Chains A and B, each alone.
Chain A
Amino acid sequence: MYGKGILKGLGVTWKHFWDTYIDDIKWGKKRYHTEEGIAYRMSKDARGLFTVQYPEERLPTPEEFRFVPFLVYDEDEGGEQVIRCTSCGICAKVCPPQCIWIERSTNPKTGRPVPVPAEFYIDVDICMNCGFCAEFCPFDAIKMDHDYELAVYDRLTNNIYDREKLLKPAAYYDGIRPLNSQKEFDARAEKEAKKAAAKKKK
């Protein structure tokens, strides 16, 4: 019969249309603006309307999600910032768009380089969020952020991030990437233990 295909297709649209209402009735208010509801709409069983109403609702960011880098600092007993970065320059070397600038600091007395960056700039206009800097940093000092809401009104004055703006506490990093930070912590502890054992042997 001519037109059967169209009717069949319309049937599918019709089903999609009602799916949303059926789900709405089934879920009540829980379908929207709740974590549970968003998780359901992202799942393999989702049907009907699946749009997430940004910014009222947000998709959860998975652990590996990456957006512009930041520098991690630890805090010592006195509450002082201990920057993990040693300004070794690997991140600046692997950066594909070359958006990382590092200035090494030197000891004013001896003129020798000190393993702390005097300045650290990232031009986030150019950054392509590839994550190489975080991937290849041997000191777990630079990591990719989860904060994707970076829009500013004046890009010419705001978008070169300096060291102060890039620094974030290790606790923040542990919060956004719990599994990775635990893995790195274990690896570091293992390394320390090996070092200590080697020292003992001597």
Chain B
Amino acid sequence: MTEQTKTMHKDIEARFAGIIALDDRSGYEGYRVEAEKLVEFATALRDEFGYDFLSSVTGVDYLPDEKMEVVYHIYKSTGGHALVFKVQVPRANPVVPSLVSIFPGADFQEREAWDLFGIRFEGHPNHKRILMWEGFSGHPMRKDWKEAYYEADAKPFDARWPGGDVSRSEDKMVFNKNVAYPQDFTPENWTPEGETALYSGMQNIATDEDLQTEHVVVNLGPQHPSTHGVFRMVATLDGETIVKLEPVMGYLHRNHEKIGERNTYLMNIPFTDRLDYLSSMSNNFGYVLAVEKLLGDTTHIPDRAKYIRVIMAEFTRISNHLMAIGALLNDLGAYFTPMLYALKERELILDIFEAVSGSRMMCNYYRFGGVARDLPPGTHEMMRGLAFERLPRQIDELDRYLTENEIIRARCEGVGVLTPEEAIAYSAVGPVLRASGVPYDVRRADPYSVYDRFDFDVAVRYHGDVYDRYLVRLDEIRQSIRILQQALNGIPECDNCLGKPRYSMRVPAGEAYGRVEGPKGELGFYVVADGGPNPWRYHVRAPSFINLTALSKMCEGDKIADAIIVLGSIDIVLGETDR
């Protein structure tokens, strides 16, 4: 923590004396706030102290203490470290005032905390489940909730060794016999309450007196090729114009965080690959940073490993943005030709990932304290070839191919506009935030790893529309190539300096929030350790999930056909959205 932030925190302590208390649990940081004073505290933080970017809101279930805790990570949009504050409420009746009126970006995250933890947020305008379906019984992230095929609280399971009791979970619990319905309940005749509530909120008759027109509610998805996966948008239309739009998600929900709490720390690394499966290296990066913060041995990472991490993360960014641009063009109706030109370059990057990590997409390459293995012979030349020769050439070609195209400009300019103030309020991150004229990039705002050694610009555009989001991605690819060129030139050589990764380690009790600038924006991992071999709480602050909060805002007033490209310009991956 720098001197300045320390004094800043003193200001806050003085201003709120009596309302807040320092969180004095060992390994924890930040302040505890009384639930009644939360709204006042948050408003003052935003208006008086400049903490205007509420990055992460999440719940933690402290079962032994009979407490529920809501943890907030808030930043200044001008950069700097986080201010963490927490609200503790009794587990029997967890009610916390909602912050949606001050920070609209808390909307989905509070709904998620309600859905998974059963923490009620008083004053939330749309207080319902988000990932699980309406009618689901229980709150799955609570520590006393057990999933289907539950075996034990924590891996490794004893049955595997030395027992060697080989069995399939599906043999133990036969399909259709593993669900319990309430009495007198037939699933076929059931209309989910949530659906009715969803539609009734969206249907209303227009009040135009001359023309009695009715608003039409249209479902886009969940099975729709342009929603990038199983994702649904319920739109109320006035003619072709969107009056209201609500994203519905959770179709790919697998309770990643619960799995993460059953796993040991190491086991979570390959699971993070499956979040945003287009940029697994970045996911690994965020997670290992969080756990390394807990371990407190960030300084032991060899320089070469740090460089390899940055190189891989930047290649990931390029491949992800290529995919995003290709998919956006697909959404625009440019059927697959631009997509394939982008994929062609992406394939070459994946070839490098395969040679280095062993897998094209599920890389599982980062380890606590370094990376899994050194670069195999020949890969350095492959990377140089791409970073110095091929990619600059091909990105210029992509630029020439698409940027000036009149059809693309006509479709994208002025569509899905998000102003800078809105972007910050909605906690938008990554290219969405930067296209709205907010030059916020975690690599610069709160540098991690060795990013402070490289010379690069934070790509920023000022119109906040779909076209600018496309341009920002193109700019970012160019900046990534710059970083790659410097990193590949500067990577230190050494023999066997990376050491051998450990499979078991003691993680001291405490909490840590590790965040990286992933290709889709700020990707954060909030990990609470209780000193045991498994994390007590493992939370993912998923950029594609939180960026969707602003989707309805961006779409309102646009045409229904534009909703598709607005969604395409946010660049979501459902594996990460639904977790």
B362 touches A50 (CB 8 A): no
What does DSSP make chain B's interface, helix, strand, loop or mixed?
Answer: helix
B373 touches A64 (CB 8 A): yes
Candidate in A2, A121, A130 with the most chain B CB atoms within 10 angstroms:
A130
Flag whether A4 is at the interface (Cβ < 8 A): yes
**How long is the Cα–Cα vector from A113 to B161 in the complex, in angstroms?**
13
Closest to A16 in B: B341
The 9 closest A-B pairs by CB, nearest first: A103-B164, A5-B404, A130-B270, A44-B385, A96-B267, A89-B161, A66-B358, A92-B161, A62-B355
**Chain A residues near B15 (CB-CB < 8 A):** none
A63 touches B337 (CB 8 A): no
Cβ < 8 Å to B, chain A residues 32-57: 42-46, 50
Closest to B165 in A: A101
**How long is the Cα–Cα vector from A179 to B501 in the complex, in angstroms?**
19
Instruction: Mark B residues whose CB is within 8 Å of A.
Output: 155-157, 159-166, 168, 263-264, 266-271, 337, 341, 344, 347-348, 351, 354-359, 362, 364, 372-373, 376-377, 382, 385-386, 389-390, 397, 400-409, 501, 503
Flag whether A13 is at the interface (Cβ < 8 A): yes
Knowing A64-B355, A131-B364, A160-B166, the reply to whether A94 touches B161 (Cβ < 8 A) is no
**Chain A residues near B408 (CB-CB < 8 A):** 5
**How long is the Cα–Cα vector from A132 to B273 in the complex, in angstroms?**
14
Flag whether A135 is at the interface (Cβ < 8 A): yes
**How long is the Cα–Cα vector from A118 to B364 in the complex, in angstroms?**
31
**How long is the Cα–Cα vector from A64 to B409 in the complex, in angstroms?**
44
**How long is the Cα–Cα vector from A180 to B163 in the complex, in angstroms?**
32
B166 touches A179 (CB 8 A): no
Question: Quick one: which of B267, B382, B400 contacts A94, CB cutoff 8 A?
Answer: B267
B362 touches A130 (CB 8 A): yes
Knowing A64-B358, A104-B164, A119-B164, the reply to whether A5 touches B263 (Cβ < 8 A) is no
**Chain B residues near A132 (CB-CB < 8 A):** 266-267, 270, 503
**How long is the Cα–Cα vector from A179 to B376 in the complex, in angstroms?**
9
**How long is the Cα–Cα vector from A132 to B372 in the complex, in angstroms?**
10
Instruction: Mark A residues whose CB is within 8 Å of B.
Output: 2-6, 8-9, 12-13, 16, 42-46, 50, 62-66, 87, 89-90, 92-96, 98, 100-104, 113, 118-119, 121, 123, 125, 128-132, 135-136, 144, 160, 179
**Chain A residues near B357 (CB-CB < 8 A):** 64
Shortest CB-to-CB span from B383 to chain A, Å, is 10
**Chain B residues near A160 (CB-CB < 8 A):** 166, 168
Knowing A12-B400, A123-B168, A160-B168, the reply to whether A92 touches B406 (Cβ < 8 A) is no
Closest to A50 in B: B344
Question: Quick one: which of B266, B269, B348, B406 contacts A5, CB cutoff 8 A?
Answer: B406
A100 touches B401 (CB 8 A): no
B156 touches A102 (CB 8 A): no
A136 touches B404 (CB 8 A): no
**How long is the Cα–Cα vector from A6 to B409 in the complex, in angstroms?**
11
B348 touches A44 (CB 8 A): yes
**Chain B residues near A89 (CB-CB < 8 A):** 160-162
A130 touches B364 (CB 8 A): yes
**Chain B residues near A45 (CB-CB < 8 A):** 390
A179 touches B377 (CB 8 A): yes
A12 touches B397 (CB 8 A): yes
**Chain B residues near A12 (CB-CB < 8 A):** 397, 400-401
**Chain A residues near B372 (CB-CB < 8 A):** 131, 135
A4 touches B164 (CB 8 A): no
Shortest CB-to-CB span from A168 to chain B, Å, is 18
**Chain B residues near A94 (CB-CB < 8 A):** 156, 264, 266-267, 503
**How long is the Cα–Cα vector from A87 to B263 in the complex, in angstroms?**
22
A102 touches B161 (CB 8 A): yes
